[in-house]
Amino acid sequence: MVKKNNHAAAAHDSHSHAHHELTFWQKYVFSLDHKIIGLQYLITSLIFLLIGFTFMMVMRWSLAFPGTPLPVLGRLFPADLAPNGVISGEFYNSLGAMHGTIMVFLGVVPLGVGAFGNYVLPLQIGAPDMAFPRMNMASYWTYLPGGLLMLASFVLPGGAAQSGWTSYPPLSIINPGQTVWLVGMVLLITSSLMGSINFIVTTLNLRAPGMSLMRMPLFVWSELVTSVLLLLAFPPLEAAAIMQFMDRVFHTSFYIPQGLVVLGMLHKASGGGQPLLWQHLFWFLAHPEVYVLLLPPMGIVMEIIANNTRKPPHGYKTVVASMCGIGAMSFVVWAHHMFVSGMSATLSNFFLVTTMIISVPSVAILTCMVFSLKGGSIRFNVPMLWALAFLPMFGIGGLTGLPLGLTATDIYLHDTYYVIGHFHYVVVTGSIVAMIGGVYYWFPKWYGRKMNDTLGYLHFWGTLACMNGVFFPMFIQGLAGQNRRYYDPTAHLHNLPTQPLHVVSSVSAWCLFLFQLPFIYNFFHSMFAGEKTEENPWKATTLEWACPSPPPHGNFEKTPRVYRGPYEYSLPGAKTDWAPQHVEAV
């Protein structure tokens, strides 16, 4: 172990010499440093979240006031997308497909894995960098073109994809614009695969001496499980995307059955394919993907709660086991997205049972989070508020999954606004809320400055209220039988009574945007002019606070040695109420 320290120290020396030779491009653009790459991911994914959100704000106009011209912006769109400023069905479908794709693949996953994982994970295990820095850089530089290609599809011939983010064939094979989406997806999948290999190897191989697996912070565990999910779940989608690409470009018929008659014309493909095959392969990825969206935020919440209750969280091992259990189970539940798809009704019963089983570890994690509050000395600072908001909001999201996971009630609720409400409660008020908390929590680490608290409180309360205003009405609409993916809900009689709720949702969504402005200002202002903080402003125990903020290249001046578990707060006999992992005597 002494040898190791020498190595790291030597490595660090060579760094400081190399430092001066780096150009701006090497340092900030094509950087190999996990911290810069993490920040690149952070800024890019936050921008993509904003873009995806903007698409939704446009769509919300069409939902609240169907058939009326979109004010101001409507005139800027080309006439074929929005004749007279009224959003057309094609344009609405494009916005919907791209909203889903951007939010999931370009926003939340890169934020949770690429940004937080890249920046925080190596620090928390005491590593000088990721295991494969070049691959790390390649991962970002495949992600960005993939994202830009997706955005560019709006102006490319054929327009953006308009078959939903799920891209069910045969619609996706008939519709224009899908090929660019597929190429973009292959780039994003490649990026994720490179990232996940890197995370797994880093976590398993680059831990500081003394950092056993059961001493790793829960955030690191969540990233490890997430990376395994990405690694094993993405290739099936890649294969499925290749087959869809073949169908579109080489006119094969993997997903096209015989005798398709499209708008009165016999489709030319030879036929013999299975449309349901895509759905199976897509959801084989996309269900583990849900946990990819969810696990890193859960890890972040555990970090923040442990830090701000000043006590070890309840049931560390339960949480670790539950995360692994979720990871394993998530591969055998996918077909609960397909109960009414024409899939075998007998097989549905199998997926019903596995779906109910996977709720067990999720409930266990949520319970551990709540029980962690018991006996604590709770500090209500800005990150803690976001972490606490995660609990009831994710609770609502999880509970409303129950009637969707049950085959019988899913017959009614499938593809209604109830589904939209459910997964937005999980992903937006759950994952995104927790990750914004993570931004406030680790901002001092990234920039050595704190974000403004007053703006933080304003951002928190405004966001929380507006998010509920957007998503809660969807449950009522779903129960009234309103379908998703309609650009004009008023075309159906049964949607009319709940139409006013669309106005509530839309107004809340636009207010939600306004409440993000203080955050954007706060983020960039604090980056340069925020209040300077000490090295460990939250008095936290994990290793990322054992190095300067922001950490220098190579992170630790001396490879830390780990003496205890990650959350030893209020340790009996210690002088302070936190006992850092790397300090031997406290």
Partner 1 sequence: MANEHPHRVAAAHGHPPPNVKLYIAIFGALIFLTILTVVVSWWHLPPAGAIAVALLIASFKASLVLAFFMHLKGEHKLIIAFLGIMLFTCIGFFLIPLDQHLLRDRTTHTEVKEEGGAPELPQAEPAKPQEAK
Partner 2 sequence: MTTNIYGWGLPVAASTYARDIDFGIRLIHWAMFTIFILWAIFFTYLLIRYKKRDGVPAEREPEHHGIISTSLIPDIIVMVFEIGLIFFYAIPVWSKVKTVFPKESEANRIDVIAEQFAWNVHYPGADGKFGKRDLAKIHFSNPIGLDHDDPAAADDVVLANEIHMPIGKPTLIRLTSKDVIHSFWVPEFRVKQDAVPGMTIPVWVEPNRVGTYELSCAQLCGFAHSLMRATVVVQTPEDYEKWLKSVAPVAVASASTSTKGSDSW
Partner 3 sequence: MSSPSDIAAWQEPALTSSGVPNAKLGIWLFLASEVMLFSTLFTSYVVLRLGAASWPRGWVALNVPLAMVNTIVLITSSVTMVLAYAKVIEKDLSGFRKYMMATIGLAFLFLIFKSFEYGSHFTHHEYPSTSIFHAVYFTMTGLHCIHVIGGIIVNTGLLFMANEQFDHPLFAGRVEGAGLYWHFVDIVWIFLFPCIYLI
Maximum distance among all alpha carbons in the chain?
A: 81
Q: How far is the CB of 400 from partner 2 (least distance, A)?
A: 7
Question: Is residue 513 packed enough to be buried (19+ CB in 10 Å), middle (13-18) or exposed (0-12)?
Answer: middle
Nearest to 483 by CA among 541, 414, 580: 414
Amino acid in the structure at residue 561: R
Query: By CB under 8 A, what part of segment 253-272 binds partner 3?
Result: 253-254, 269-272
Inter-residue contact 471 to 425 (CB < 8 Å): yes
Cα angle 112-114-118, degrees, rounded to a multiple of 5: 105
- What does 211 interact with, of partner 1, partner 3, partner 2, none (CB < 5 to 8 A by kind)? partner 3
Query: By CB under 8 A, what part of segment 273-312 binds partner 1?
Result: 274, 276-277, 280-281, 284
Query: By CB under 8 A, what part of segment 174-233 binds partner 1?
Result: 204, 228, 232-233
Residue choice 17, 493, 528, 585 for contact with partner 2 (CB under 8 A): 493
Amino acid in the structure at residue 359: S
Q: How far is the CB of 494 from partner 2 (least distance, A)?
A: 5
Q: How far is the CB of 356 from partner 2 (least distance, A)?
A: 4
Inter-residue contact 293 to 208 (CB < 8 Å): no
**Stretch touching partner 3 by CB under 8 A, among 40-48, 204-212, 403-411, 418-426:** 204-212
User: Is residue 504 at the binding interface for partner 2, with CB under 8 A as the rule?
Assistant: no
CB nearer partner 2, residue 228 or residue 358: 358
Half-sphere exposure of 239 (CA within 13 A, CB side): 12
Query: By CB under 8 A, what part of segment 44-63 binds partner 2?
Result: none
Nearest to 422 by CA among 409, 436, 404, 434: 404
Measured distance CA(188)–CA(285) in Å, rounded: 13
Inter-residue contact 166 to 282 (CB < 8 Å): yes
DSSP 442: H
CB nearer partner 3, residue 271 or residue 375: 271
Residue choice 126, 128, 217, 312 for contact with partner 2 (CB under 8 A): 312
User: Is residue 347 at the binding interface for partner 1, with CB under 8 A as the rule?
Assistant: yes
**Beta-sheet pairing, 531-532 with 261-262:** unpaired
Q: Which residues, 6 or more positions from 199, have their beta carbon under 8 angstroms from its beta carbon?
A: 113, 117, 121, 130, 223, 224, 226, 227
User: Is residue 571 at the binding interface for partner 3, with CB under 8 A as the rule?
Assistant: no
**Stretch touching partner 2 by CB under 8 A, among 6-14, 170-178, 420-428, 549-557:** 170-178
Inter-residue contact 49 to 435 (CB < 8 Å): no
**Beta-sheet pairing, 265-266 with 261-262:** antiparallel
Inter-residue contact 86 to 69 (CB < 8 Å): yes
Residue choice 47, 249, 378, 529 for contact with partner 2 (CB under 8 A): 378
Inter-residue contact 113 to 296 (CB < 8 Å): yes
Question: Is residue 475 packed enough to be buried (19+ CB in 10 Å), middle (13-18) or exposed (0-12)?
Answer: buried
Measured distance CA(541)–CA(556) in Å, rounded: 15
Residue choice 60, 99, 207, 414 for contact with partner 3 (CB under 8 A): 207
CB nearer partner 2, residue 239 or residue 476: 476
User: Is residue 243 at the binding interface for partner 2, with CB under 8 A as the rule?
Assistant: no
Query: By CB under 8 A, what part of segment 411-470 binds partner 2?
Result: 411-416
Secondary structure of residue 84 in the 3-state scheme? helix
- What does 379 interact with, of partner 1, partner 2, partner 3, none (CB < 5 to 8 A by kind)? partner 2
CB nearer partner 2, residue 415 or residue 557: 415
User: Is residue 439 at the binding interface for partner 3, with CB under 8 A as the rule?
Assistant: no
CB nearer partner 2, residue 1 or residue 496: 496
Amino acid in the structure at residue 112: G
Amino acid in the structure at residue 230: L
Q: Binding string to partner 1 for residues 248 to 277, with x set by CB under 8 A, is what? A: ---------xxx------x----x--x-xx
Residue choice 109, 211, 319, 388 for contact with partner 3 (CB under 8 A): 211
Which residues contact partner 3 (rule: CB under 8 A)?
A: 3-4, 7-8, 10-11, 14-15, 18, 22, 26-27, 31-33, 127-129, 131-133, 193, 196-198, 200-201, 204-207, 211, 231-236, 238-240, 242-243, 246, 250-254, 269-274, 277, 280-281, 284, 553-554
Which residues contact partner 1 (rule: CB under 8 A)?
A: 204, 228, 232-233, 257-259, 266, 271, 274, 276-277, 280-281, 284, 328, 331-332, 334-335, 342-347, 349-350
